[in-house]
């Protein structure tokens, strides 16, 4: 594995007024902090790009959309400050997606865990496949989905969020995610790209000013997330230092 592969990949393709952002990492599309920072910066940049009306967010490969935080980096956390800084990466990304002036369409081709579920929840519209099961496994590794919880609860409600979180060992099928509004629509894998392109083109054909105003309405009442998600990152950063969490992470890596 090359150094570049270990850092992951990020690329953006422009097609008329649609920007497709694709991230990838050989470890099941997990996120080391550096890749989180790059994706956050790209979302912020596209927010200011006047030629873009719609963003499509997708990942590499066919089986896994995103497996959340990098376990390798989690095991390298040595103190609460480092832990808070690492988990603030997801806080900054979710806030960037929330504050982005463009509507964000998620293309979810496969499974998502932990932070990957948070990224899905921060999208404005999500097209997925029947193979796109989701899981919040954080309790099983001694932490909790504290940073992403506001985004997930906003989409599926507190009761469904609690159901996912407490059943930390359990995959929720794509149909469950659709019924609970985490997903907007399901398409067979061989039809997903066509559906994403068709929806993105339709959406981008609408008045950009109307899309911008709609984005603001969708995210009304979340302004306090700027501080809330950072506070949640500090909680997670402390918990990841526990003996329980250390032992669980090592077991998961095996």
Question: Digits of tens for pLDDT over the chain (254 positions)?
Answer: 233 466 899 999 999 999 999 999 999 999 999 999 999 999 999 999 999 999 999 999 999 999 998 888 888 888 999 989 999 999 999 999 999 999 999 999 999 999 999 999 999 999 999 999 999 999 999 999 999 999 999 999 999 999 999 999 999 999 999 999 999 999 999 999 999 999 999 999 999 999 999 999 999 999 999 999 999 999 999 999 999 998 888 887 66
φ/ψ of 117, rounded to 5, equals -65, -40
Q: Which helix (H) or strand (E) holds 41?
A: helix 33-47
Q: Which domains does the chain have, with CATH numbers?
A: 9-193 (3.90.226.10)
Tokens representing residue 64 in the block:
């896994």
Q: Which residues contact 12 (CB under 8 A, 6 or more apart)?
A: 19, 20, 21, 22, 42, 46
Q: What is the pLDDT of residue 248?
A: 87
Q: Which residues contact 55 (CB under 8 A, 6 or more apart)?
A: 18, 19, 20, 21, 43, 46, 100, 102, 103, 104, 105
**Single pTM value for the model:** 0.95
CA Rg value for the chain: 17
In the DSSP assignment, the letter for residue 141 is G
């Amino acid at each position: 594995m090359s150094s570049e592969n270990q850092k992951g990949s990020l690329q953006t393709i422009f097609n008329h007024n649609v920007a497709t952002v694709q991230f990838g990492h050989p470890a099941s599309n997990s996120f080391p902090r550096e890749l989180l920072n790059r994706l956050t910066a790209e979302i912020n940049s596209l927010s200011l790009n006047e030629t873009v009306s719609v963003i499509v967010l997708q990942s590499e490969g066919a089986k896994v959309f995103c497996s959340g935080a990098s376990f390798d980096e989690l095991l390298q956390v040595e103190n609460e400050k480092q832990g808070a800084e690492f988990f603030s990466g997801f806080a900054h990304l979710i806030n960037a997606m929330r504050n982005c002036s463009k509507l964000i369409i998620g293309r979810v081709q496969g499974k998502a865990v932990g932070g990957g579920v948070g990224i899905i929840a921060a999208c404005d519209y999500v097209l997925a496949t029947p193979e796109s099961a989701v899981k919040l496994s954080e309790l099983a590794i001694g932490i909790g989905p504290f940073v992403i919880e506001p985004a997930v609860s906003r989409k599926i409600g507190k009761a469904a969020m609690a159901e996912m979180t407490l059943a930390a060992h359990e995959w929720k099928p794509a149909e469950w995610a659709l019924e609970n509004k985490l997903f907007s629509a399901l398409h067979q894998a061989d039809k997903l790209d066509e559906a994403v392109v068709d929806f993105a083109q339709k959406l981008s054909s609408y008045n950009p000013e109307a899309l911008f105003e709609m984005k603001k309405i969708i995210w009304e009442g979340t302004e306090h997330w700027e501080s809330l998600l950072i506070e949640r990152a500090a909680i997670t950063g402390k918990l990841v230092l526990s003996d329980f969490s250390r032992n669980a992470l090592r077991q998961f890596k095996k």
